[in-house]
A and B are shown apart, each in its own frame.
Chain A
């Protein structure tokens, strides 16, 4: 059990790192793009806008800390 937990934690740290909010922002943005596409909107512009917001918020948190 401990090894499974350590394995999970390793991959969490590997992909998500120390700012889980950025990873959550990415998932939400991809979901929103898929929803807009399903509604007939070719939302290619959403990810660049979302990445700008996610990165900026993450940097602001790091700079203030």
Chain B
């Protein structure tokens, strides 16, 4: 995999997660105060950095075939979840992901929650931001570690995620609201396709089989997953119309 492709893959997957984390931090900050929300954001970011720093180098000690087998299986199971949801959304069987709606819901819940102060912080605001960033960030950490470790380039994958973080944070500060204009559903579809593609590729190699043309077959696997996904969307849309 080329460096550019690795960075772009980590960037895309991370951007989707950071947009979701931003929505939660904004809801916590606006309704419960920025001090607690930013403290939660900082604590979660630190926790994630420790996880990546600890697991990343540890994974490089595992033989590459074993690593590709395990990572391929995990990515494929994980990627199929994303792809399934994306296909169901695109074909109308599942509601589209709506950041504005999620933002409104998070704000309403944050306003309704009682006030409890711990360590000088509004505890609800802190935990809301901490949990939100940690959970969304864990997916980023998972992608950075798996993509990076199988290529021996965790730094490049982290760079892609870092660029996404800075970009989303800067736009978030400028917009001061949830990033509703980001084509999130299309991005999620792309990430699902990408995760499934790499999952198929690495799990096959990890199981001991060899792709014709080795790494050169990756675009072919990608084209196959794209074709499969769009065929599924078209078929499900037709089915939905037929049963309407």
Contacts and interface: CB of A to CB of B under 8 A. Distances in A.
A7 to B, nearest CB: 12
B135 to A, nearest CB: 9
Specify the main secondary structure of chain A where it touches its partner.
helix
Contact of B232 (A22, A23, A59): A59
A42 B210 contact: yes
How many B residues touch the partner, as a band? 35 or more
B200 A15 contact: no
A49 to B, nearest CB: 10
A58 B80 contact: yes
Interface of B: 69, 72-74, 76-78, 80-81, 83-84, 87-88, 93-94, 138-139, 142, 196, 199-200, 203-204, 206-212, 221, 224-225, 228, 232, 236, 239-240
Given A14-B78, A33-B207, A48-B221, 16 more contacts: A16-B81, A19-B81, A30-B69, A33-B204, A38-B208, A44-B211, A44-B212, A46-B204, A46-B209, A51-B80, A51-B196, A52-B228, A55-B80, A56-B232, A58-B84, A62-B94
